[in-house]
């Protein structure tokens, strides 16, 4: 008989922690899980899900203008946040209840409290209760980073944007990563005047350079006041609004400031350093290939480890942890060739290497096509789709695939299967095109635009 209260105690009720807790309980383990906020974590409550619902909502305004050009008698209309917001929160509550139900069904005990580590096998909850566990899994995710600047507290983050009482008329978005660019497109589509400042020379650092420039041009053409090479300097309340001043002395008056300047691992105040758990420079929990920390009984998965900060990756890491620890099947989570999507408008789907990353490791051929899709061309819209393949000259394997187009997130999921399998350019070429579609371009690019 075990001397521990639980075989596994999970700290954090996000996608990764819930998956690990549920699967471990299904395998017969006694599992406890503590979540201090709401079950579902960043993705379900304040990230992927509400963001994507806002993406859907934001597309209908521009679609009305396109509908008129197709012959529909369609008024512009206006977006009513007061109608959308309660439906959004009702959906999040529904999803949270599903998470709770699925977690509790196999016997996981849920604790609605904050948990900290007291020693290698003990957690203490904010309600005063203490539990022992053979294994402890930290899955506390990440949180938005806000720089220390005068007046920075006047801004909000992506955590709070879904709870606004009303949409602002004007917003300043700070940052150039995927969260900043997604919300710039969302709010612009909902009729908000959007200014975006990014300190770097181009948005979407870390993604393919050609794609970054392509998306920036589209955002500017859509009316987003995108300014690169500008950092915020200070903020102050003025005339019932917020006055922001940048490093170039440019000033704007807005109703809201949205910080989207990156995220950091949520590892503070958990008792990790006192216990001897190694942390990295950004506060990430350092783990080995099996998600084990420097303290053998303590494991960590998801964004708090700062490996690949994506929900499906955290879920895979949670499942691999259970296979390793509870099923006797040592399993490393696979972090190679992970596809992702940036929900700008249009979307950006990507898997594999960027052109720059591929060129740094070997000689490559680059296939790229930019064109106006049939739907846009018919109504004389300038917005162009982009399809790009990076191919190894030596092996002819497709090293990277990049798509900027409506539905790119859906397309890249399927392309990722081929890239993951090691498909060559000839394999793509052998596939017969589906016509007329945008996606057919991925099998029709015959001549490299660049080779080196």
User: Catalytic residue numbers?
Assistant: 435
DSSP one-letter string for 46-71: HSHHHHHHHHHHHHHHHHHHHHHHTT
Contact call for residues 236 and 242 (beta carbons, < 8 A): yes
Token pair of 391, please? Answer: 């191919």
Pick from 54, 37, 83, 351: which is nearest to 188 by CA? 54
Chain centre to alpha carbon of residue 17: 17
CA distance 323 to 312: 17
Residue 415: partners with Cβ closer than 8 Å, 6 or more residues away: 339, 349, 351, 401, 403, 442
Retrieve residue 236's tokens: 């102050």
Question: In this structure, are strands 364-371 and 385-392 parallel, antiparallel, or unpaired?
Answer: antiparallel
How far is Cα 65 from Cα 291, in angstroms, rounded to an integer? Answer: 50
Nearest to 57 by CA among 202, 209, 162: 162
In this structure, the chain runs to a length of: 452
Q: What is the DSSP secondary structure assignment for residue 18, as one 8-state letter? A: H
Helices 81-104 and 48-69, axial angle in degrees (round to 10): 140
The label of the residue with tokens 């350019």 reads: 425
The answer to whether the bond into 421 is cis (omega within 30° of 0) is: no
């Amino acid at each position: 008989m075990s001397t521990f209260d639980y075989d596994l105690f999970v700290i954090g009720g996000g996608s990764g922690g819930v998956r690990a807790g549920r699967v471990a309980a299904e395998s017969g383990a006694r599992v406890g899980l503590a979540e201090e906020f709401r079950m579902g974590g960043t993705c379900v409550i304040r990230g992927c899900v509400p963001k994507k619902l806002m993406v859907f909502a934001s597309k209908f305004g521009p679609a009305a203008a396109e509908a008129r050009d197709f012959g529909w008698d369609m008024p512009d209309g206006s977006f009513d946040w007061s109608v959308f917001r309660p439906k959004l929160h009702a959906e999040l509550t529904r999803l949270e209840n599903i998470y709770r139900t699925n977690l509790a069904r196999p016997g996981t005990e849920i604790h609605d409290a904050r948990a900290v580590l007291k020693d290698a096998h003990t957690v203490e909850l904010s309600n005063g209760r203490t539990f022992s566990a053979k294994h402890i899994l930290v899955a506390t995710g990440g949180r938005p980073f806000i720089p220390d600047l005068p007046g920075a507290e006047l801004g909000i983050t992506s955590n709070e944007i879904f709870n606004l009482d009303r949409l602002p008329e004007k917003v300043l978005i700070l940052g150039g990563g995927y969260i900043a660019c997604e919300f710039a497109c969302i709010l612009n589509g909902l009729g908000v005047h959007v200014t975006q400042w990014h300190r770097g020379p181009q948005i979407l650092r870390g993604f393919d350079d050609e794609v970054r420039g392509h998306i920036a041009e589209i955002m500017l053409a859509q009316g987003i006041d995108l300014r690169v090479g500008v950092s915020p300097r200070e903020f102050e309340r003025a005339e019932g609004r917020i006055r922001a001043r940048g490093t170039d002395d440019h000033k704007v008056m807005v109703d809201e400031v949205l910080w989207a300047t990156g995220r950091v691992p949520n590892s503070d105040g958990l008792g990790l350093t006192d216990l001897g758990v190694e942390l990295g420079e950004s506060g990430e929990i350092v783990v080995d290939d099996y998600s084990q920390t420097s303290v053998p009984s303590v494991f960590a998965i998801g964004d708090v480890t700062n490996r690949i900060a994506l929900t499906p990756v955290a879920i895979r890491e949670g499942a691999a942890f259970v296979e390793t620890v509870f099923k006797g099947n040592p399993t490393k989570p696979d972090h190679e060739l992970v596809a992702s999507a940036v929900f700008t408008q249009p979307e950006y789907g990507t898997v594999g290497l960027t052109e720059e990353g591929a060129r740094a490791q070997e000689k490559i051929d680059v296939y790229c096509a930019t064109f106006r899709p049939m739907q846009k061309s018919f109504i004389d819209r300038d917005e162009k789709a982009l399809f790009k393949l990076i191919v190894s000259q030596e092996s002819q394997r497709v090293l990277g695939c990049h798509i900027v187009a409506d539905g790119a997130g859906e397309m890249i999921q399927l392309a990722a299967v081929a890239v993951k399998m090691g498909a060559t350019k000839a394999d793509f070429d052998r596939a017969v095109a589906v016509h007329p579609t945008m996606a057919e371009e991925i099998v029709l690019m015959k001549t490299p635009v660049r080779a080196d």
